[in-house]
Every structure is written in structure tokens, then in C-alpha cells.
A and B are shown apart, each in its own frame.
Chain A
């Protein structure tokens, strides 16, 4: 299967991975997270675990089990790590977390692995099972730069027992971490239905189904219907652009039936869009991968105007399709978009409108930025690089030399 990636990266890169993997022969690796379906972590693990096994590193993936009460607490913890002050943690919740963690001790065998990689806070307490000679890594997918003190205190109970931790970028790291802190970017899979090549006919057919004119410029944002993604700002920017350029705006996303805020945002957007037949609000089911793919490929300019963002891999998805991205200067967006080279970083609605206009006006600029965008993703944000980073980190950790 690793051979399937040869069209996307140099053959020498695959060879280097194979050399690295040979060093890890006989090593057993375990990934643990909280869900097998849904979300970026599960999506990456599905392919990463297969690839690790394919290159000869025996790798398993297990999922922690918990009930609603457990996951309500861990969701709260996640939010508190991301942004302080909205909730409090009480001791009853902590005790319940420990109880569920203890129940998972029986279910999840960690002893038979040389390296255990724990994703996010939910399974973090499994570290209590660590035995001599093992290396445990905490892979944090959350921005913890300004955590709620109580939430961080909870994390601190466990984190320093790990051998290393991984964050997406230094900006996400809380300054009080004492263990070696690696930064590994997340990645996209070029073989995922979201990213595979589509024929021009299929692209046209898909966007036309939704009433979008494939021949007229399309400004696209793909994101949940969430205020933090600033769809209202995108709509304002589009209105400024539309004074000069006939174009269409597609806001493509979704909201779960149990997400009242998403529904409210969608309704408000609908009200604001009323009367403009060139605005398309598409609320699609989460498995609409080919549709998202087609819209990204059909887009003239892709926008990601989040007010706050984790990593925002949707930016890399668009870049991989050769699209210049106008993105907010926040979170992981600023690590993906190289301002003036693969797109533009903006701080305001006005800035977004101006940059969209610049791109709509200049097909050559779009093409050149799009080509740079593809190359940037090829080197920095494909799963092959992610695989290599994990193999290298494991190799470093199990070698006798201390990391720091």
C-alpha cells in the first residue's frame, strides 16, 4: 500500500521510510484514542496504523471505552484546555474519570508493547499501567497554550510520567510542560475520498446538483456552521467582492441534529443570504467526502476565515487541490498558508475581501500560488511525512541516547 503513494512523493522518500522502519523491526507500537469513527484523529489513525504495519512495524490501535458521563467530562476538559473559564471541574468528575480509566485497565492490554501512544486527554490515565522499559508518548491534538488552571492541574497529574509529548506546533504548548516536547504537524491522506483526483466532468456534475454554476467563479469556505469559523464575516467579504466581480459564495458544512448552536447559525446565515441567488448554504452529512472534494476542486478561491482554529487541515485539503487560500492569521492556518506565496493571511473582513479580489482578478497568480500550495502540502502535510515523523520519533525514543 505504501507503493500507492509513489505518485505523490519522491521514490527516495519511500525508501528512507523503509530504511527507518527496518531499524524498528520487532518493536510493537500501540495507539490508543477515544473513537474509531469521526474526527480528524480517527481519520489519520485509520491510515497511519495500516501504513506502520505495512512497513514492518507491528502496530495496533485500541479505543478507550466510556459512558456519556465520562465523555461529557472529557469534552469539558478539552474545552477548558482550549479556552479557560467557562466551566469548573469538580472532584466527583475526577473520581469518575479515574473509575472509567481503571475499568479500561482490564480491557486495554498495554504491557505487550514497547511504545504506547496516547491521543488526547481521554485515555491519558492509562499511563498508570506503564511498565519498566516501555516508552509512552502523549499526542495532544488540542491547543493548550492558555489552559484553564484546573484543567491543566488535572493533566499534570499524568503528563510528567510520559517519556515525551507531541503537539501540532510550539504555539499550542503550555509553558509548564517538563517532558520533551516534539512538534509534529497533522496530515492529510491523498488517497482519502476527500482528496482523490476527480474528473472535470464529475466535479461539474456534483456542483451542478446543488445548483452552483461551475462556469462562474466560486468562493468557498468549508467548515462547521459555527460562529468561530466566522461564516458571517465570509458573507460580508463576499458582498464587498461582488460589487466588482460576478461570483458565487458557497458555505459548505454541517451541523449535527443535537447541535442547537449550529442550527441557529445556519438559520441566521439563511436569513442574511435571502434574496441573493448566488449564495449557497450547503448543510451536508459528515460522510459527503466526494462532494467536499468536488467543491474544493471547483472553487476559484478558498477561504478559511476562522476567528480561532486548531490546526484547520481543511486548508491543506484545498491547497492540495491547487487552490490559493485566503486564511485568517490564527492557529494552524498561519502554519499552512505562506503569505504571498500559497495564498494570503488576513486579519479582517476587509482584508479577506481585498485578497479574494486580487485572486479573482489574476488567473496567473492563482495558478502560481496553487502550484506552490500543492508543493507545500506534498512536503509538509501528507500522511507519508507523518508516518516518517512517527517512525523517527519512536526510533529516537527507543534508542539508548537521551532525547534532550
Chain B
């Protein structure tokens, strides 16, 4: 009998940590010590918030670097993929390492400030489950894009899981090809609405 898939969703309210920085040096120093929830917020906020439109850079760190004219750093940090890496401490280390290795020095110019924010998150049961493929497809069709974000991105990161929730369930029922196709979706470069359509097409295909 197939494992039951519980559909959940995720809501956020941003909480300002009270920390803002005006220099690249302070930015790097703060990244070393800031709560891990703030790293999570800033690497995922564009996916979570701008799920409906194109973005310049995939995370707010890159975007801030771009706005302050650190174009090389912006590009390098944009390559950090939280879905691929999963472990937030690992993500923090990589970001700091890239910044240290490519640190251009301080220009003395006061930068546009970076405000470190984190999210108060709430995971909610959607109130429906899937026991078979038909119910699974129906559940995804009825899910909000916040629910998609939870199952594709944040649940994987929080659990440090090798695959997202949808693919894990598909693997558990032997649907390896469909599981792999969903794992390969480029979540950053499509809106979550497009991703939802793609998943439904994969499942119905």
C-alpha cells in the first residue's frame, strides 16, 4: 500500500533582525554569525515572493551586491542553489567563502544598506491527503503555490533530504521517472505557477 502523502503549506511573516550593514566587510562578518533562519530567508525569498515574475538574481544577497556594483560577487553568489545544497550551514559557508575569496576591499563608500530579515514560518496541514496517483494529482491541482514551495523547497532544506517531498513519494510508489523529472525542474527560472503546470503534465503524462 502506498505511503500517504499529506499536503501541507507554508506561510511567512518577515521579522527584521535589527541588523543592517553598510559595508561589504560588515556584510561578510554578519553572514558568519547571523541566525541560520536569516540565511534561509534571503536565499529563498525570491522564490517565495517573486514566484510570479522574473527576477534579476535568485537571492537577495546577490541582488544587494548587484545594486552596490559588486557585479562579480553578485554573479558568483547567484550560483548558490539551496535546492541542490540543502544544508543551510553549508550554504552559509559557501557564501562566506566566495565573498572572502573575491573580496575586492573596501572603497570607503557607504553602500545601500542590507537589512537582515528572517521569517516567522508556519507550516499548515492543507486538510487533504493522497493515497494514490489520482489523489496526488488532484491534491497538487488544489494546492496553492505556497504549498508547492513547501514541498519542493523548504521541506527538503529543513529535513536535509536528498529529494523533494513530491519526488520522495513518487519513488516510494515506484514512479522513478516521474520522480526524477520533478527533481530536475529548474524552480528558479519558472514561476511556481508554471512549475505547478509542469508537475501536473509530468504526472498525467
Contact = CB atoms under 8 A, between A and B. Distances in A.
Given A19-B125, A380-B49, A12 B147 contact: yes
Contacts of A395: 122
Interface of A: 10-13, 15-16, 19-20, 167, 170-171, 173, 175, 177, 180-184, 338, 340-342, 372, 375-376, 378-380, 388-389, 392-393, 395-396, 403-404
A98 B205 CA distance: 69
B181 interface: no
Interface in B126-162: 126-127, 142-147
B15 A20 contact: no
A177 B122 contact: no
Given A10-B145, A20-B124, A379 B15 contact: no
A243 B144 CA distance: 48
Contact of B15 (A11, A171, A183, A378): A183
Contacts of A12: 9, 126, 142-144, 147
Contacts of B18: 173, 175, 177, 181
B8 to A, nearest CB: 10
B15 A403 contact: yes
A403 B49 contact: no
A404 B14 CA distance: 12
A167 B142 CA distance: 33
A392 B122 contact: yes
A60 to B, nearest CB: 23
Given A12-B142, A182-B120, A173 B126 contact: no
B117 interface: yes
A80 B197 CA distance: 51
A82 B125 CA distance: 42
B147 A389 contact: no
B13 A393 contact: yes
A102 to B, nearest CB: 32
10 nearest A-B pairs in the assembled complex, by CB-CB distance: A12-B144, A170-B115, A375-B52, A170-B16, A181-B16, A183-B14, A372-B53, A392-B11, A182-B13, A392-B13
A327 B178 CA distance: 45
Interface in B38-65: 49-56
Nearest to B115: A170
A177 B18 CA distance: 8
Contacts of B198: none
Q: Which of B18, B56, B113, B146 has the most A CB atoms < 10 Å from its CB?
A: B18
A175 B127 CA distance: 41
Nearest to A13: B144
A19 B53 contact: no
A171 B115 contact: yes
18 contacts: A12-B144, A15-B126, A16-B11, A16-B124, A16-B146, A20-B124, A170-B20, A177-B18, A180-B15, A182-B14, A182-B16, A338-B53, A340-B56, A372-B53, A376-B52, A392-B11, A393-B13, A403-B15
Given A19-B127, A170-B20, A182-B13, A396 B122 contact: yes
Contacts of B127: 15, 19
A375 B53 contact: yes
Interface of B: 9, 11, 13-16, 18, 20, 49-56, 113, 115, 117, 120, 122, 124-127, 142-147
Contacts of A15: 126-127, 144
Given A175-B20, A342-B53, A395-B122, A16 B144 contact: yes
A175 B17 CA distance: 10
A340 B53 CA distance: 11
Contact of A378 (B49, B50, B52, B117): B52
A395 B122 CA distance: 9
Contacts of A380: 49
Query: B16, B50, B120, B143: which has the most chain A beta carbons within 10 Å?
Result: B16
A343 to B, nearest CB: 12
Contacts of A372: 52-54
A182 B15 contact: yes
B43 to A, nearest CB: 17
Contact of B53 (A177, A181, A376, A389): A376
Nearest to A170: B115
Given A372-B53, A392-B13, A183 B117 contact: yes
A11 B147 CA distance: 13
Contacts of B50: 338
Contacts of A340: 56
Nearest to A374: B52
Given A173-B16, A341-B54, A393-B13, A379 B49 contact: yes
A403 B35 CA distance: 14
Given A12-B143, A12-B144, A341-B54, A167 B16 contact: yes
Nearest to A342: B53
Contacts of A10: 144-145
